A = this chain, B = another copy of it.
Amino acid sequence: MKDEFSFIRSIQPDRHHQPTVVAGIGDDAALYDAEEGFHEIAAVDTLVEDMHFTKKTMTPFHIGYKALAVNVSDIAAMGGRPVYYLVSVSVPKSGSWSEAELQEMYKGMTVLADEYGVDLIGGDTNATNDKLVVSVTVIGRVEKGVRLLRSNAKPGDVVFVTGPVGSSAAGLHYLLEGDDCPEHYLKAHQMPEPQVSAGRLLAQAGGRIALNDISDGLASEANEIAEASGVTVEIDWSRVPHDLHGETDEYVEKWTLFGGEDFQLIGCTGQQTWERLTESFEKNGQRLIRIGRVVEGKREVFLLKNGERTVLKKGGYNHFVKGD
């Protein structure tokens, strides 16, 4: 990049969605105001080229979109709405990323940001001798008192997800194999939709809810809840929703349980809240799918399939990195 400053000007938004910005991009740090009656939420996630994404399966636009989506999803998993983001990019000195590609990456972020009314308020760009690294920080807000923590699950709870899982992994598979990729797999992999509106309904339900976003696969996230809550989670295989059609059983199981990056939410809640939730989701034309239950026991997850109850480890596979 010839001139960091002219690049920064080129990605600088010309208006803000949020009225609480005081000073955005262009100074040492961003200044903004919190909102009365709300907690602040902060999350950061870094994506490394050829570890978390590859140009083989995603355009720069998709990479930007997804880098922000990953973080917006973390805000959704706290029941919050995203308000600001900051982007730190390390650009390869080899020139493997052109300035036009970097602009496209920021454009991918902007498209998602505009959808949710999120403002870019800061960040930095610097050089690296290696691959592209993009680190996104998102700041969000949720009503005071709302704590949708992983540690909230209790025996007797319903376990639910907000939508089908496994399509992102299926998309990655098809793209890497060079096969024709069904459109909905492609979208799940390249432009996953963070479940902000589902998170907001969960936050507004007013009950005790444990919540996690499914970034590393259903098995992994269920284990995190079991671990944090000190409970056993049972998942009924026949109830796990997916949109994988005409695939072998082996792939369906692999993608659904261990695929990750679908960014649906997994949660646990008591029967009463569950009933309120299904009502409010239905009223909003959204769905919440019951996939299991929480029971007393060790901090582990079981899969109920064909009458068998087997331990479901985090396991799975890490993105597309072989031998990981």
* A residues adjacent to B (C-beta < 8 A): 5, 22-23, 26-34, 39-46, 48, 50-52, 73-75, 77-78, 80, 84, 86-90, 121-124, 126-131, 133, 135, 137-140, 142, 144, 147, 149-151, 211-213, 227-228, 318, 321, 324
- The answer to whether B41 touches A324 (Cβ under 8 A) is no
Residues of chain B within 8 A of A131, CB atoms compared = 128-130
Partner of A90, one of B26, B73, B133, B144: B133
Contact between A150 and B86, CB atoms less than 8 A apart: no
Cα A140 to Cα B23 in complex, Å, equals 14
- With a cutoff of 8 Å between Cβ atoms, the chain B residues found around residue A87 in the complex are 44
A88 touches B46 (CB 8 A): yes
**Cβ 8 A contact of A26, one of B130, B144, B150:** B150
Once the chains are docked, how many angstroms separate the CA of A211 from the CA of B212?
41
Stoichiometry, as copies per complex, reads 2
With a CB–CB cut-off of 8 A, which chain B residues contact A31?
39-41, 78, 142, 147
Q: Please determine whether A28 and B126 come into contact, CB atoms closer than 8 angstroms.
A: no
Q: Is the CB of A135 within 8 A of B39?
A: no
Contact of A42 among B127, B128, B133, B139 (CB under 8 A): B139
* 29 pairs of residues in contact across A and B, judged by CB atoms under 8 Å: A5-B227, A26-B228, A28-B43, A29-B77, A29-B78, A29-B80, A29-B140, A31-B40, A31-B41, A31-B142, A31-B147, A32-B39, A34-B34, A42-B121, A44-B86, A44-B122, A45-B88, A46-B88, A46-B135, A48-B127, A48-B130, A48-B133, A52-B126, A127-B318, A128-B133, A129-B131, A130-B130, A135-B135, A137-B137
* B33–A40 CB distance below 8 A: yes
Most B CB within 10 A of own CB, among A42, A122, A149: A42
Q: Which chain B residues border A130 with CB–CB below 8 Å? A: 48, 128-131
Contacts of A80 in B (CB 8 A): 29
Distance (whole angstroms) from the CB of A83 to the closest CB of chain B: 11
Nearest-neighbour CB distance to chain B for A96, whole angstroms, equals: 12
Q: Other than the known A28-B43, A44-B135, what 13 A-B pairs have Cβ atoms closer than 8 Å?
A: A23-B149, A27-B78, A29-B78, A31-B41, A32-B40, A42-B121, A42-B139, A44-B123, A46-B124, A48-B130, A128-B131, A129-B131, A135-B135
Q: Which 7 A-B pairs have the closest CB atoms?
A: A34-B34, A130-B130, A29-B43, A28-B77, A135-B135, A46-B88, A28-B74
